[in-house]
């Protein structure tokens, strides 16, 4: 900065002077002088470098985002390492993955309440295999909870009113009942907690919010889960993209189950070794 009679004049970098002179030459429409050709070449080099850098950064960002989405999708479609220690397989949870957790110490009471057809006592290994095929399996009590698996466990997404009525009857018969469901393919998910026939907390999403009842729980907040209200505007993504909010909800359902009751993937073989459970087909609910 130079001083002229008490006034200050800012000094510009040389490249700004070159750019200024080049701009004046461009807009004056006069022929280029011999010394100005180099300035134009410098400007051209700077433009090319800036364009190349911008293209590289944009491409790198898009490729990184695509790789992250592929990794998230793959992680949801395959069992995680921490899941592999549990004797309960993903096949037993079905597709969509779903299960019930009922606070009880006697699986026979649950068998009666669910009205199992052709019930049989069986070892947990056999029961889990039957659950993966078509039967329902009522586990022996595990840390104060009985888990229910199998293809007969209802899915809420097609008939939410019928699902609610069925689960309400189960809660009325058995007391505290919890339900969890996740579909990694379509990103649909649901969870519910009943005390008798009272809904403490319920949320179900399949392309839109199907069920939203009860206050947002501390466990959901701790896990960073997001629940949309009915008809609430939601971020739009292309059909081949993964919605990061829905993806996060899916990834936290096992954590929510662990906080509310019992995560099936945390069950150890020693938890199931003591007693047998029940297998059968779910015909109706009886109080």
- Considering the domain architecture, whether residues 97 and 227 belong to the same structural domain is answered as yes
pLDDT digit string (tens) for 12-31? 555 556 555 655 555 555 55
H/E stretch holding 163 reads helix 160-174
pLDDT digit string (tens) for 159-194? 999 999 999 999 999 999 999 999 988 899 999 999
Neighbours of 19 (CB within 10 A): 16
Average pLDDT rounded to a whole number, residues 98-126: 89
- Considering the domain architecture, whether residues 219 and 256 belong to the same structural domain is answered as yes
- Considering the domain architecture, whether residues 216 and 120 belong to the same structural domain is answered as yes
Domain that holds residue 40: 2-61
- Considering the domain architecture, whether residues 55 and 88 belong to the same structural domain is answered as no
Q: Using the CB atoms, write b or e for 172-195: b if 16+ within 10 Å.
A: bbbebbbbbbbbbeebbbbbbbbe
- pLDDT band for position 3 (cuts 50, 70, 90): very low
* Residue 75, in any domain of the structure: no
Checking if the pLDDT of 4 tops 50, the result is no
* Residue 70, in any domain of the structure: no
- Considering the domain architecture, whether residues 174 and 252 belong to the same structural domain is answered as yes
Checking if the pLDDT of 106 tops 60, the result is yes
- Considering the domain architecture, whether residues 57 and 18 belong to the same structural domain is answered as yes
Kindly give, in sequence order, each residue whose CB lies less than 8 Å from that of residue 252, ignoring residues fewer than 6 positions away: 223, 224, 225
* Residue 278, in any domain of the structure: yes
- Considering the domain architecture, whether residues 28 and 136 belong to the same structural domain is answered as no
pLDDT digit string (tens) for 222-237? 999 999 999 876 666 5
- Considering the domain architecture, whether residues 91 and 206 belong to the same structural domain is answered as yes
- Considering the domain architecture, whether residues 43 and 87 belong to the same structural domain is answered as no
| Encoded tokens for 250 | 């899916």
Reduced DSSP (H G I as helix, E B as strand, rest coil) percent helix, strand, coil of the chain, to 5: 45, 25, 35
- Considering the domain architecture, whether residues 104 and 17 belong to the same structural domain is answered as no
CA 192 to chain centre: 16
Return the axis-axis angle of helices 14-28 and 36-77, rounded to nearest 10°. Answer: 110
| Encoded tokens for 151 | 């293809």
- Considering the domain architecture, whether residues 169 and 94 belong to the same structural domain is answered as yes
Neighbours of 14 (CB within 10 A): 8
Checking if the pLDDT of 196 tops 50, the result is yes
- pLDDT for the residue numbered 17: 60
Residue 123 in 3-state DSSP? coil
Average pLDDT rounded to a whole number, residues 139-153: 92
Number of domains in the chain: 2
pLDDT digit string (tens) for 54-93? 777 777 666 655 555 555 555 444 444 344 467 888 888 8
* Residue 68, in any domain of the structure: no
Checking if the pLDDT of 99 tops 60, the result is yes
* Residue 73, in any domain of the structure: no
- Considering the domain architecture, whether residues 53 and 96 belong to the same structural domain is answered as no
∠ CA 29-30-32, nearest 5°, is 115
């Amino acid at each position: 900065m130079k001083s002229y009679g008490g006034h200050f004049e800012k000094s510009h970098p040389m490249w700004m002077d070159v750019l200024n002179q080049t701009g004046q030459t461009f807009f004056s429409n006069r022929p280029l002088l011999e010394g100005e050709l180099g300035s134009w070449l410098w400007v051209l080099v700077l433009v090319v470098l800036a364009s190349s850098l911008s293209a590289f950064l944009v491409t790198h960002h898009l490729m990184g985002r695509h790789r992250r989405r592929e990794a998230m999708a793959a992680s949801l479609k395959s069992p995680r390492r921490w899941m592999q220690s549990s004797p309960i397989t993903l096949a037993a949870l079905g597709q969509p993955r779903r299960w019930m957790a009922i606070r009880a110490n006697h699986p026979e009471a649950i068998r009666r309440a669910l009205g199992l057809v052709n019930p049989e006592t069986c070892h947990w290994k056999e029961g889990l295999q039957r659950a993966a095929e078509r039967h329902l399996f009522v586990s022996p009590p595990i840390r104060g909870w009985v888990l229910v698996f199998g293809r007969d466990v209802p899915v809420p997404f097609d008939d939410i009113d019928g699902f609610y009525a069925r689960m309400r009857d189960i809660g009325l018969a058995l007391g505290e009942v919890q339900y969890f469901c996740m579909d990694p393919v379509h990103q649909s998910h649901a969870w519910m907690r009943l005390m008798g026939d009272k809904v403490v907390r319920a949320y179900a999403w399949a392309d839109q919010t199907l069920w939203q009842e009860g206050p947002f729980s501390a466990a959901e907040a701790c896990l960073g889960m997001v629940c949309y209200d009915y008809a609430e505007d939601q971020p739009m993504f292309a059909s081949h993209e993964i919605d990061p909010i829905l993806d996060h909800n899916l990834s936290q359902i096992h954590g929510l189950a662990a906080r509310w009751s019992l995560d099936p993937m945390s069950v150890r073989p020693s938890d199931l070794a003591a007693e047998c459970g029940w297998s059968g087909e779910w015909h109706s609910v009886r109080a």
